[in-house]
Amino acid sequence: MCRMTAYLGETEIQLSSLVLEPEHSLLVQSYAPKEMMSGVVNADGFGTGWYAPEVDEEPAVYRSVAPIWADRSFASIAPKVRSSTVFAAVRSATPGLLGATDSETIFALFLDRLRETKGSPGDSGALAEATAETILYVSVVCTNLGVHAALNIGVTDSRAMVFARYSTEGPGNSLYLVEGGEAFPNAVVAASERFDGDASWRQVPDRHLLVADAVGVASRPL
């Protein structure tokens, strides 16, 4: 089980303001999550990706196999890096379901489907369709194997982001959204758990797809 968050906004923010500083930030969720369905900590590494289009169209990525709370280097650079698109996750390792690791296999499936759509950057429809097709494919595979799958998938191309909350049986992993919240007034933020007590946070329903782009935010059932 993992915890993740993403920011898509009109203004740039410091990485630390999303990942480290909120009351119930991703850092806190790494050692004291409130809504994990299995496991008690996320201590098997973390990663943060962000876009700096003035330097390179490809995202910058910081990865570590150490717990986020033990990484002093990230803590020192996070307040000094700014971006308008940020994605971060902390990891709790689980046995792979479809290959060496389930996340790598699922991402490869997603990329195959995204190439087939031939969507351009910012094409939220293409991202959404590729995500939906990937989830439904994985769902069929898991059902045939008699394996329960609870999937929270998030993708972004710097101009749009898509999140999905899906489970083959019972309730899925928690996923929340805040649009124009108190801490992030000009942005959309998705997170596995709410960062604070802001009443603007709302839960994404199970088996739903969340799409955010320059037009706004929309969701639809899967």
Q: Is the dihedral of CA 179, 190, 7, 194 positive or negative?
A: positive
- The DSSP 8-state label assigned to residue 80 in this structure reads G
pTM over 0.75: yes
Is residue 142 part of the annotated active site? The answer reads no
- Which residue ranges make up each domain of the chain? 3-221
Among 2, 28, 155, 178, the active-site one is 2
Give the CATH H-level superfamily of domain 3-221.
Answer: Aminohydrolase, N-terminal nucleophile (Ntn) domain (3.60.20.10)
Cβ-count burial of 56 within 10 angstroms (0-12 exposed, 13-18 middle, 19+ buried)? exposed
Q: How do the pLDDT tens digits run along the chain, 222 residues long? A: 689 999 999 999 999 999 999 999 999 999 999 998 877 888 889 999 999 999 999 999 999 999 999 999 999 999 999 999 999 999 887 654 474 567 788 889 999 999 988 778 788 999 999 999 999 999 999 889 988 888 889 999 999 999 999 998 878 889 999 999 999 999 999 999 999 999 999 999 999 999 998 888 999 999
